[in-house]
Amino acid sequence: MSNDLSTSPTETRPGNGLLLLAVLGGMFLAMLDQTIVGTALPRITQELGGTGLYTWVVTAYLLTSTITVPLYGRLSDTYGRKPLLLTGVVLFLIGSLLCGLAQDMSQLIGFRALQGLGAGALLPLSLALVADLFPPDKSGRVQGALGGVMALSYIAGPFLGGVFTDQASWRWAFLVNLPIGLVLIAIIVVRLPHVAGQGRGVRPDYLGIAVFSGAIGALLLGLTEKGLDDHAWTSGPVLWPVVTSVLLLTLFVLVERRAAQPIIPLELFRNRTYTLANATSFLTAFCLYAGVVFLPRYFQESLGLSATESGLRIYPLMLGMVAGSGIAGVLMSRTQRYKPWLIAGVGLIVLGALLCAGLTAETSGLALAGWMALLGLGMGPMLSGLTVAVQYSVPPRFIGTASANLTFFRQIGGSVALALAGTLYASVVRDEAPVHGLSAAHASAAASVIPWLAVGGALVALVALVALPGGRIKALAAGPATLDG
């Protein structure tokens, strides 16, 4: 069997539709678990205690899932997709089962970390498998479907978490993964052939993995402290983890330059399209998190809605993202170009975000639905088009690595965005509440944070997108043999 993933036998096999369904399901599970737990946490702490450990239920999952994303991507290029994907799904399901059975907060935190170790495989390997399974003339449309699933999971998580908590038990926020995951395993075992990677007999980059894990773990800890507890940037809980991360990242670069099989090949960043697409992924995470984090907060804190109700109210954003991703996918397939649709998406994001600057506690629900739809329509192409851009900018042997790093930079961008916006949100509430009341203060904070995050991120991303070379799928899909293009 060929080691070149671009000639995967799955391209000519029947049943790719079933594999695509498994890919979509795996993506949905991984991304759903980033958000579904938030609405269940108050009930969890009531039952298990450990209020002081509240944030660690989220942070433990965030740490392990983010750190392992690029590792799974690179290892799948080296050893093949199938064994790495199966490993990730099995770890994810074991973690989900144990989370659903947890008897105290310490157990839940540990099991969430285990769940995250598996979740890190699901999204990047799903994106890589699409490139393996489908030819270039269909990739835009399929990536549009994947982007739609990503959008759905961001919005559905808080809603489903609220429903499970209110109508059954918070434990079902974890146990619901089991039947879906078992079906995914069956499809992967039966339908997905094992295509060997190019790393047989090569010693894994253990030192690079260790240093990278420490660097990103420290960075996420510092950013989480900044975003959740409103520390100053110079405070110990924020400053020292960030400084440690910078030092370890410097060491990581030195290690990777000498590694025979680096976990993140630095030569990829010499490719202009690859580098600019990852920068855009990082920046547009600001736009994404502006909507999916702070609009639900507006609904709950300013309008007094429940978590379940706020999940329903934000559906225009989700539907816009699904529609935007799908439309961009169709347009990319028809025109074999991605750059124009990414630039058009930035324009829609900026328009929707600027309209949100007029947000108050009395804003018409219909008007806000229109603003959210614009934001979603603009974000949709970013979830599908950037994947197409980055996958066709690298040789086929690096598709897993490229897909994973795109996801990684989006998640890091989201963490940075929340750290920056948390301070602004808290300061606006603190200043406005004594004068106008708490409800109006939260509306004013949302009206400040959403445009600031989304417009700022979108405009800098626009610079990167304009600088993208080419932008034609067929030209890139010819399979560049080197990174010089």
Residue of higher predicted confidence among 26 and 228: 26
Under 8 Å CB-to-CB from 211, ≥6 apart: which residues?
Answer: 248, 251, 252, 255
179 lies in the same domain as 285: no
Q: What is the CATH number of the domain that holds 337?
A: 1.20.1250.20
End of a domain among 218, 238, 260?
Answer: 260
> What range defines the domain where residue 161 resides?
15-192
Choose from 81-95, 194-208, 254-268, 400-414 the range with maximum mean pLDDT.
81-95
339 lies in the same domain as 406: yes
Question: The tokens of 373 are what?
Answer: 């739809």
Is the distance from CB of 261 to CB of 417 less than 8 angstroms? no
**pTM, rounded to two decimals:** 0.83
465 lies in the same domain as 398: yes
CA R_g for the chain: 21
Residue 199 has pLDDT above 70, yes or no: no
How many domains is the chain built from? 3
Residue 475 has pLDDT above 50, yes or no: no
Residue 6 has pLDDT above 50, yes or no: no
pLDDT attached to residue 310: 76
Question: The tokens of 382 are what?
Answer: 């970013």
pLDDT digit string (tens) for 385-399? 888 888 888 888 888
pLDDT digit string (tens) for 40-88? 777 888 888 876 676 788 888 888 988 999 999 888 888 888 899 999 9
Q: Note whether residue 252 is domain-resident.
A: yes
Bridge-partner residues for 472, per DSSP?
337
Q: Note whether residue 251 is domain-resident.
A: yes
End of a domain among 215, 231, 260?
Answer: 260
pLDDT digit string (tens) for 120-137? 998 888 888 877 777 666
What is the average pLDDT across 88-96? 95
- CA gap 202, 183 in Å, rounded: 33
250 lies in the same domain as 290: no
- CA gap 34, 30 in Å, rounded: 7
pLDDT attached to residue 450: 94
pLDDT band per the 50, 70, 90 thresholds, residue 2: very low
184 lies in the same domain as 212: no
418 lies in the same domain as 442: yes
- Phi, psi dihedrals of residue 337, rounded to the nearest 5°: -135, 145
Q: How far is CA 119 from the centre of its chain?
A: 11
pLDDT attached to residue 198: 61
- CA gap 284, 409 in Å, rounded: 10
Q: List the single range of 89-93, 195-199, 321-325 with lowest mean pLDDT.
A: 195-199
Under 8 Å CB-to-CB from 433, ≥6 apart: which residues?
Answer: 441
Residue 375 has pLDDT above 90, yes or no: yes
Q: What percent of the chain has pLDDT over 70?
A: 89
**Residue in the block written with tokens 């899932």:** 65
pLDDT attached to residue 423: 79
Q: Note whether residue 485 is domain-resident.
A: no
340 lies in the same domain as 364: yes
Is the distance from CB of 445 to CB of 423 less than 8 angstroms? no
459 lies in the same domain as 363: yes
Mean pLDDT of the chain: 83
Residue 5 has pLDDT above 50, yes or no: no
Q: Note whether residue 420 is domain-resident.
A: yes
pLDDT digit string (tens) for 430-471? 888 888 888 999 999 999 999 999 999 999 999 999 998 876
- Phi, psi dihedrals of residue 361, rounded to the nearest 5°: -65, -15
Question: The tokens of 288 are what?
Answer: 């994404």
